Amino acid sequence: MNKKWLYRVLFFLTMVSCQKPAIEQPESSINYNYFPLKPGLWKIYEVNAIYIDAPSAVFDTLHYFVKELQSYWFLNASNDSMIRLERFYTENLANSWEPNSVWQLGIWDKQAIQIEDNITYVKIKFPALVGTSWNGDAYNRIDTLNKFNYQITAVDATYNLESFSFDSALTVLQKQQQSLIDKIDFEEIFVKNLGLVYKKQIDIYSTEVDPAIPIENRVTSGLIYYQKLIDYGIE
């Protein structure tokens, strides 16, 4: 091989090695519509939260709004295709939105993945079928005792949320446990082509044991959190 051709081959190999890897979207053989990955999709949620620590006289009731925007595709450190999810906060819709945090969304091994503040959760396991269960904390250390498995309790169901009416909703029961001294109830509802529309997290504990009084009325410590969709669109 003469020098002229040698230089051409070396130039070609250099150009190929410098090309960025292609970002591939999830396979289409499974319906991932309950966890859509769409740059430009935005949603606004209303949040009501109560933080309780009775021994410290803390009873904080918070009401605010969160806007989530799927910004763009990128490759993470493991070469996984992910969506950048930009999150904003305001206490009043008449005010401007303030940047709050950046999360990530993706599909790994037929699982809907959401990375929240560097904690990875498995939101849905596909194919989405009633009765399907999985470890939602498989990629984190929140539930090291494996006490709870996420489970799909409804698929393609009608669901009404305030002024919205959806004909295809999926419900994931994440955690559920109740006794005289505690109550844990985590649930998320997703709809096709939109994703999460409703979220509930109840994690409360009571040192007062009285079967005649609901635990919600004798909380010693814990969190009661509700998040619901109020608007959405495409930028």
- pLDDT (tens digit, 9 = 90+) per residue, 7-31? 444 444 444 344 444 444 445 447 8
- Distance CA(61)–CA(86), nearest Å, equals 25
pLDDT for residue 125: 97
Local confidence band at 5 (pLDDT 50, 70, 90 cut-offs):
very low
Contact indicator for 91, 1 with CB cutoff of 8 Å: no
pTM, two decimals, is 0.86
% of the chain surpassing 90 pLDDT: 83
Rounded average pLDDT over 69-85: 95
Mean pLDDT calculated for residue range 190-198: 98
Please say if the pLDDT value at position 235 is more than 50: yes
Residue 226 has pLDDT above 90, yes or no: yes
In this predicted model, what pLDDT tens digit does every residue of 95-131 receive, in sequence order?
Answer: 999 999 999 999 999 999 999 999 999 999 999 999 9
pLDDT, greater one: 146 or 180: 180
pLDDT for 31: 82
pLDDT value at 207 more than 80? yes
pLDDT per residue as tens digits for the range 38-54: 999 999 999 999 999 99
> What's the mean pLDDT in 170-183?
97
Question: What pLDDT, on the 0 to 100 scale, is given for residue 22?
Answer: 43
What integer pLDDT is reported at residue 105 of this predicted model? 98
Confidence class of residue 4 from pLDDT cuts 50, 70 and 90? very low
CATH class given for the domain over 32-234: mainly beta
Residue 65 has pLDDT above 50, yes or no: yes
Residue 157: burial class (beta carbons within 10 Å; 0-12, 13-18, 19+): middle
* SS3 assignment for the chain: CCHHHHHHHHHHHHHHHHCCCCCCCCCCCCCCCCCCCCCCEEEEEEEEEEEEEHHHCEEEEEEEEEEEEEEEEEECCCCCEEEEEEEEEECCCCCCCEEEEEEEEEEECCEEEEEECCEEEEEEECCCCCCCEECCCCCCCCCCCCCCCEEEEEEEEEEEECCEEEEEEEEEEEEEEECCCEEEEEEEEEECCCEEEEEEEEEEECCCCCCCCCHHHCCCEEEEEEEEEEEEEEC
Does 164 have pLDDT greater than 70?
yes
